[in-house]
Amino acid sequence: MPELPEVQAHAERLAGEFAGRVLARFRPLKFTALRTALPAPDDAYGQPLLAVRRRGKYIILEFESVQFAVHLMQGGRLLVDEKQSAKPRGGQARFVFDEGPALLLTEAGTERRAGVWCLPPGEVESSPPLDVLGPDADTVTPEQMVELFARKNQRIHGFLRDQRSIAGLGRRLSNEVCHRAEISPFAMTGKLGIEGATKIVEAIRATIEEGLDDERTRTDMSSSKDRPSAVHRRTGAPCPRCGDEIRAVEYSGYTVNYCATCQTNGKVLADNTTSRFLK
Ligand SMILES: [Zn+2]
């Protein structure tokens, strides 16, 4: 899933290409694509696109009367659409401008989880789905992080992935941040203190910066296999810091990757899958 750096760089590219263009129509191609009833997208017709920004993993297209929040989920893309064909592959919704190419929201697969929310300007942050988001991951200070840690004692990896604690990180960056901070993905937030919070904040910022530097060199969003990675999706490969083997704890929906030497004092974390077989 695209995370903060990918979404941020994508918003920047779209702003460069589409800012100032006048919206002619917003057309859902699948009935599930538009998730809100009011305000109507029509309210923005005839208005120029003022800005494209990011909040968490959402891309927000700002018009004077409506802000469109777009979530790409796993396989969604917001593509420059020159052809505007009647039945585009994976097409979910289309922003048509008074001239030039359209913007097409597509989603690979059949999950249909990508979507568009029309939000009233001025109430964007307090409206669903953005109202539940924690602060953007790259804006949090160590002191704020300690406060966020104190809300609920939980594994740091789960905390980092939860958009309600901090927004913008997913499975890849959570793996990368823990490795960079040299903290176990299973460390409990209640025990990390200001020292742990500082390490996590520094790791978040460095990891995001690395991702942004890479993503900004591209003309379109990277695919997940091309994103910079020290541990994520590198099970069995050598740790770039110490050379130990990158290990994995498998869950049904994702994999926690880590280096035992760098992060857990050599302790191998229980692999759920393996433990189940051994029972
Ligand atoms: Zn290592």
Chunked in runs of 10, what are the mean pLDDT values of the chain (279 residues)? 95 96 96 93 98 97 98 90 93 96 91 90 96 98 98 97 97 97 98 98 98 95 90 97 97 93 96 52
What pLDDT score was predicted for residue 110? Answer: 74
CA of 230 to the centre of ligand 1 (A): 9
CA distance 27 to 4: 27
CA of 184 to the centre of ligand 1 (A): 11
CA of 241 to the centre of ligand 1 (A): 5
What dihedral angle (degrees, nearest 10) is formed by the CA atoms of 85, 89, 93, 99?
A: -30
CA of 257 to the centre of ligand 1 (A): 11
CA distance 120 to 127: 8
CA of 5 to the centre of ligand 1 (A): 24
What pLDDT score was predicted for residue 84? Answer: 94
What pLDDT score was predicted for residue 279? Answer: 38
What pLDDT score was predicted for residue 229? Answer: 94
CA of 229 to the centre of ligand 1 (A): 13
CA of 98 to the centre of ligand 1 (A): 53
pTM assigned to the model = 0.94
CA of 233 to the centre of ligand 1 (A): 15
What pLDDT score was predicted for residue 278? Answer: 45
Q: Quick one: DSSP state of residue 137?
A: G
Q: Quick one: DSSP state of residue 189?
A: G
CA of 238 to the centre of ligand 1 (A): 8
| Phi, psi torsion values for 51, nearest 5 degrees | -165, 160
CA of 207 to the centre of ligand 1 (A): 16
CA of 144 to the centre of ligand 1 (A): 28
| Phi, psi torsion values for 236, nearest 5 degrees | 90, -15
What pLDDT score was predicted for residue 252? Answer: 85
What pLDDT score was predicted for residue 274? Answer: 53
Can you read off the two tokens belonging to residue 114?
């990508």
CA of 182 to the centre of ligand 1 (A): 8
Identify residue 21 by its one-letter amino acid code: R
Q: What would you report as the CA-atom Rg of the chain, rounded to the nearest whole angstrom?
A: 20
Report in angstroms the alpha-carbon separations of 126 from 56, 134, 169.
14, 12, 21
CA of 234 to the centre of ligand 1 (A): 12
What pLDDT score was predicted for residue 272? Answer: 61
- Cβ atoms of 14 and 6 closer than 8 Å: no
What pLDDT score was predicted for residue 273? Answer: 55
Query: What is the DSSP annotation of 143-162?
Result: HHHHHHHHH---BHHHHHH-
CA of 130 to the centre of ligand 1 (A): 36
CA distance 276 to 279: 5
CA of 1 to the centre of ligand 1 (A): 25
What pLDDT score was predicted for residue 224? Answer: 84
CA of 260 to the centre of ligand 1 (A): 7
Exposure string over 150-171, b if 16+ CB within 10 A, otherwise e: eeeeebbbebbbebebbbbbbb
What pLDDT score was predicted for residue 253? Answer: 83
